[in-house]
């Protein structure tokens, strides 16, 4: 029988991972951001550092003049109050994102091996879903694929994944992260109750 950590120890371990990641690389820990960076680099090549407010305003003004000619209406906008300049971190090299994602897979594999190994099966480990899908491997694979697409869509729409919002965003008291975490936990709990009511 596998002995699991108590909930408080698991919570402290997750918080420790997020803090260690911050202190080592000075960036928030989020899986979706790594995938996004790799996809963007594959589509557009090397990503340049983000523009600060002044550089962004200058680029928008130049693009407006080029598109419409004449004087840019942006020049009539009030000058924003000066803010303390916070240096933006430079983009991480691609290999850093790959190492991070490989570490996630390696950690999962190491956990399985330490637990005595696993016997992979082409099925979902659930008592309820086989009642809905039957024994069809293709049906279960299709459900997993659709779930992955929806998770990816929701991650892009919410501006981060469950680890980014749930672990890092809420720990920094970001309102959007509290809303996103409440949404995905609430939706998951509601879906489980609905499935149990329909399939039990």
pLDDT for 136-163, tens place per residue? 778 878 888 898 898 888 888 888 888 7
Please give the mean pLDDT across all residues of the chain. 78
Q: d(Cα 176, Cα 170) in Å, to the nearest integer?
A: 9
To the nearest 10°, the Cα dihedral for 46, 48, 49, 52?
-160
Q: Nearest CA to 186 among 164, 156, 159, 154?
A: 154
Residue recorded with tokens 């469950």: 162
CB count in 10 Å sphere of residue 49: 11
pLDDT for 93-150, tens place per residue? 888 888 888 988 898 888 888 877 777 776 677 777 777 777 777 887 888 889 889 8
The answer to whether the predicted template modeling score (pTM) of the entire model surpasses 0.75 is no
- Judged by average pLDDT, the poorest of 55-64, 170-179, 186-195 is 55-64
pLDDT for 1-42, tens place per residue? 567 788 889 888 888 887 887 788 777 777 777 877 788 788
- Check residue 112 and give its pLDDT: 84
Token pair recorded at residue 200: 């039990």
Cα-Cα-Cα-Cα dihedral sign, residues 27, 163, 167, 6? negative
pLDDT for 160-176, tens place per residue? 888 788 888 887 788 98
- Check residue 178 and give its pLDDT: 92
């Amino acid at each position: 029988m596998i002995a699991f950590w108590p909930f408080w120890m698991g919570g402290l371990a997750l918080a420790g991972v997020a803090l260690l990641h911050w202190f080592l690389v000075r960036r928030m820990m989020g899986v979706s951001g790594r995938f996004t960076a790799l996809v963007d680099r594959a589509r557009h090549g090397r990503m340049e550092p983000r523009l600060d407010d002044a550089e962004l305003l200058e680029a928008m003004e130049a693009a407006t003049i080029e598109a419409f000619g004449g004087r840019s209406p942006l020049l009539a906008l009030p000058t924003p109050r000066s803010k303390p300049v916070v240096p933006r971190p430079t983009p991480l090299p691609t290999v850093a994102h790959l190492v991070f994602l490989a570490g996630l897979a390696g950690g999962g594999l190491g956990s399985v091996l330490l637990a005595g190994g696993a016997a992979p099966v082409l099925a979902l480990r659930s008592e309820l879903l086989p009642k809905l899908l039957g024994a069809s491997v293709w049906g279960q694979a299709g459900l997993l694929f659709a779930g992955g697409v929806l998770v990816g869509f929701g991650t892009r729409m919410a501006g981060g994944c469950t680890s980014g919002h749930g672990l890092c965003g809420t720990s920094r008291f970001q309102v959007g992260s509290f809303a996103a975490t409440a949404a995905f936990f609430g939706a998951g709990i509601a879906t489980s109750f609905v499935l149990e009511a329909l399939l039990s």
